[in-house]
Amino acid sequence: MRRRHGVIVARRITLFSSPPAPESWNGTPLSDDTVLLRRNGSIAWITLNRPTNNNSIDLDLATRFRDIVLQLEADPTCDVVMIAANGRTFCMGGDLAAMAGSDDVPGLLTQLAEAMNVALLTLSTSRMIVVAVVNGIAAGGGLGIVLNADLAIAGSRAAFLTAYSAIGLTPDCGVSYLLPQMAGLPRAMELSLTGRTLRANEALEWNLVSEVVSNDDLMARAEILSERLAQGAARALGETKRLLRGDTSGYADHLRDEVRTIAAMGADAETQILIAGRAPRGAPRPQAAA
């Protein structure tokens, strides 16, 4: 298939009635919430808002992302979902500091992956058309967000990598399912096993994104695309998406396998040392077994 194709506390979802100023998307958070939501008619913008943490996925971001997606899915007036990010990074994947500071890494990984999977499976099977607007690095679960979108626009400074092997983990967020389908098995193996980073134009060639534009033009282009999609026949677009994606029952099973596997790897001593070694300064460091 090619493109074109817990402690879980729900917090208040921030809703913007009008679009924020463009400069807010270049690093100025609009609030302290980790995920922002604004509506423009039938268009919803979801913005990852942990710019000082490279929009890495902690429990708060994962559960808020899930809750917002479920809210939109239940709203018949929402036809288009745009996913963007504040700051220079789209999403660096799981929060390594949170993992390094946890006394139950497998449990934390399970919570993170399960929350994200609910959101991503909902988006991939939804009648809503989902567009990822990728301004910078998309790694790990961030790459998963991109792959689960129906369309993806990348800025010229975007980059894509799996990043899991560097910390002794295995793919989640659907990466191990979608990447081989979109890029082909040999390329998926190369990206996943070697830690290679793809630049925007390479991601376009590999079918991971549908369009590459200058970062300066990224948001303007995304707004144009969102309006074009919103003006289409919503029901027909949703049914077309369903037909193109086909049977998703195998995907749901695969996501559960990803959760079990990454949780098992999180219990590995070597993995925990690798995570701690790459976590930001100040994060706890586990001791190697004697």
Judge whether residue 281 has pLDDT over 80: no
Per-residue pLDDT tens digits for 139-189: 999 999 999 999 999 999 999 999 999 999 999 999 999 999 999 999 999
For CA atoms 137, 252, 187, 262, the dihedral sign is: positive
Please give the CATH architecture assigned to the domain spanning 15-217+234-278: Alpha-Beta Complex (3.90)
Q: What's the chain's average pLDDT?
A: 88
Query: Residue 138: in which H helix or E strand, if any?
Result: strand 137-139
Q: What is the pLDDT of residue 289?
A: 37
Q: Distance between alpha carbon 192 and the CA centroid of its chain, in Å?
A: 17
Q: Which residues of 267-282 are buried (b: 16+ CB within 10 A; e: fewer)?
A: eeeebbbbbbeebeee
Query: Residue 125: in which H helix or E strand, if any?
Result: helix 105-125
Judge whether residue 18 has pLDDT over 60: no
Q: What share of the chain is helix, strand, coil (3-state, %, to 5)?
A: 50, 15, 35
Judge whether residue 29 has pLDDT over 50: no
Integer Cα distance of 120 and 109 in angstroms: 16
| 240: amino acid identity, one letter | T
Per-residue pLDDT tens digits for 222-251: 999 999 999 999 999 999 999 999 988 899
Q: What is the pLDDT of residue 156?
A: 97
Per-residue pLDDT tens digits for 181-224: 999 999 999 999 999 999 999 999 999 999 999 999 999 999 99
Q: Which tokens in the block code for residue 114?
A: 């399960």
Integer Cα distance of 201 and 55 in angstroms: 23
Structural domain boundaries of the chain? 15-217+234-278
Which of 203, 197, 218 has the alpha carbon at shortest distance from 3?
203
Helices (H) and strands (E) in the chain — how many of each? Answer: 11, 10
Cα distance from N-terminal residue to C-terminal residue, the chain: 48
Per-residue pLDDT tens digits for 249-268: 899 999 999 999 999 999 99
* Residues in the chain, overall count: 290
Q: What is the pLDDT of residue 30?
A: 55
Predicted TM-score (pTM) above 0.85: yes
Lowest average pLDDT, out of 26-30, 38-42, 236-240, goes to 26-30
Task: Compute CA distances 106 → 65, 74, 290, whole Å.
Answer: 21, 31, 21
Q: What is the pLDDT of residue 267?
A: 93
Q: What is the pLDDT of residue 10?
A: 35
Q: What is the pLDDT of residue 32?
A: 83
